[in-house]
Amino acid sequence: MSLATLLLLADGRLPSGGHAHSAGLEAQVSAGRVRSVADLDGFLRGKLATSALVSAAFAAAACAAPAAFAGLDAGLDARTPSPALRKASRAQGRALLRAGRAMWPVAAIGREPHQPVALGALASAAGLSPHEAAVAAAHGTITGSASAAVRLLGLDPYAVHALLARLAPECDRIAELAAARSGDPVDELPAAGAPLLDIGAEHHATWEVRLFAS
pLDDT tens readout for residues 31-61: 999 999 999 999 999 999 999 999 999 999 9
pTM: 0.94
Question: Which of the pair, 214 or 153, is modelled with greater confidence?
Answer: 153
Residue 25 contacts residue 1 (beta carbons within 8 Å): no
First CA to last CA across the chain, in angstroms? 33
Q: How confident is the model at residue 165 (pLDDT cuts 50, 70, 90)?
A: very high
Q: Strand (E) positions, the chain?
A: none
Instruction: Please calculate the CA angle 133-2-119 and round it to the nearest 5 degrees.
Output: 25
Q: How confident is the model at residue 30 (pLDDT cuts 50, 70, 90)?
A: very high
Please report the pLDDT score of residue 15 as a whole number: 81
Please report the pLDDT score of residue 1 as a whole number: 56
Tell me: pLDDT of 159 over 90: yes
Q: How confident is the model at residue 107 (pLDDT cuts 50, 70, 90)?
A: confident
Q: How confident is the model at residue 125 (pLDDT cuts 50, 70, 90)?
A: very high
Set out the domains of the chain in order of their start, with CATH numbers.
Answer: 22-204 (1.10.4190)
Task: Give Cα 196 to chain centroid, integer Å.
Answer: 17
Distances in Å between the Cα of 86 and the Cα atoms of 79, 115, 183 are: 9, 10, 24
Q: Where are the alpha helices (DSSP H) in 67-114?
A: 69-78, 83-101
- Sequence-distant (6+) residues with CB within 8 A of 105 are 125
What is the largest distance, in Å, between two alpha-carbon atoms of the chain? Answer: 45
- Sequence-distant (6+) residues with CB within 8 A of 39 are 33
Element (H, E) at 45: helix 37-47
